[in-house]
Amino acid sequence: MSINLAFLRRFSPLRAERGFTLIEAVFAMVLFAGLAAAMAGLLTSAISANKLSRQRTIADQAAMEQIEVIRRLPYQNVGTILGNPPGVVPPTTSINVTGLAATLTTQIRYVDDPTPTSYETTANYKRVIVTVRRDDDSKVLAR
């Protein structure tokens, strides 16, 4: 019995020591690496969504500005240069704003909108369609 008591006395200070074992440390590092990888993926997708949102906002503002320019024109001038109907509006415009390189396209057409009880005419009004496409991949950002 004296051997057992001597053995326990000799190694009892090791039991009282506080700290992490190698297995606990490795497990904690693996857990942290998994969480960090998941957070990196989430952060990457959030940055991408923010960039697309910013580009769409710039495109919407450019399209609305173009529509407001056309609204201020006299009716006879509403049309594209060398287009049908003829007018003073350029058919394409380049947009170069920080974070966005795009092309603004303006289409103006006559529209015949007959009413059931009236005479048919060739054109009642003009329809304006403004489209903003990103130059990198031709993705439509605003219409």
pLDDT for 83 equals 87
Distances (CA, A) of 53 to 48, 62, 97, 127: 9, 14, 14, 27
pLDDT over 80 at 43, yes or no: yes
pLDDT for 114 equals 73
pLDDT for 111 equals 86
Domain presence at residue 58: yes
pLDDT for 2 equals 57
Domain presence at residue 134: yes
124: phi then psi, degrees, rounded to nearest 5: -100, -35
Burial 67-86 (b: 16+ CB within 10 A, else e): eeebeeeeeeebbbeeeebe
pLDDT over 90 at 102, yes or no: yes
What domain range is 65 assigned to? 19-142
pLDDT over 80 at 32, yes or no: yes
Please tell me whether residue 104 adopts helix, strand or coil conformation: strand
pLDDT for 11 equals 60
Angle at 125 between CA 122 and CA 127, to 5 degrees: 115
Specify the amino acid at residue 142. A
pLDDT for 45 equals 93
25 vs 3, more confident: 25
Total domains in the chain come to: 1
Contact 115, 81 (CB under 8 A): no
Domain presence at residue 95: yes
Domain presence at residue 81: yes
Is this model's pTM higher than 0.85 or not?
no
Mean pLDDT of 62-69: 95
Cβ neighbour number for residue 99 with a 10 Å cutoff: 8
User: Average model confidence (pLDDT) for the chain?
Assistant: 86
- 5 pLDDT band (50/70/90 cuts)? low
d(CA 126, CA 130) in angstroms, rounded, equals 13
